[in-house]
Amino acid sequence: MYVLPFEALHNNPNEVVTRLLNIMGAPIVYEGKLPVSNPSLSKKGLELTRFGNTILNQKERSLLRNFLQENFPKAKEDGFDLFTDEQREILIDFYRQSNQTLFNYYIVKEFKTVASTYL
């Protein structure tokens, strides 16, 4: 079992993603930029969050987040934005090889181990 403090995700999300990939056996250093996302905020609240993150310190961001969650919640009828079919295919194609590698390493290997105990 691996344990990472929740604060690590906020303090250095790239390191968390890198460590998770490494735990899964993928020797990858993630250097991307994770998107700011909060499904409980309205679009305007999310825009304010993105702007606030560029100019506020950690304590101020926390205050802004609390204010926005209280005053700019996402309306239930707004629903969620889904990928278009084209975006979905691009995403699937991008991760196809790594997903297959992970599947083969973890699922197939585990299945063979479990199946051999019953055969």
| CA–CA distance, 92 with 48 (Å, rounded to integer) | 31
pLDDT of residue 67: 92
Residue 57 pLDDT class (50, 70, 90 cuts): very high
Token pair 């629903």: residue: 79
pLDDT of residue 28: 78
Identity of the amino acid at 76: K
| CA–CA distance, 14 with 67 (Å, rounded to integer) | 27
Confidence check: pLDDT of 34 > 60: yes
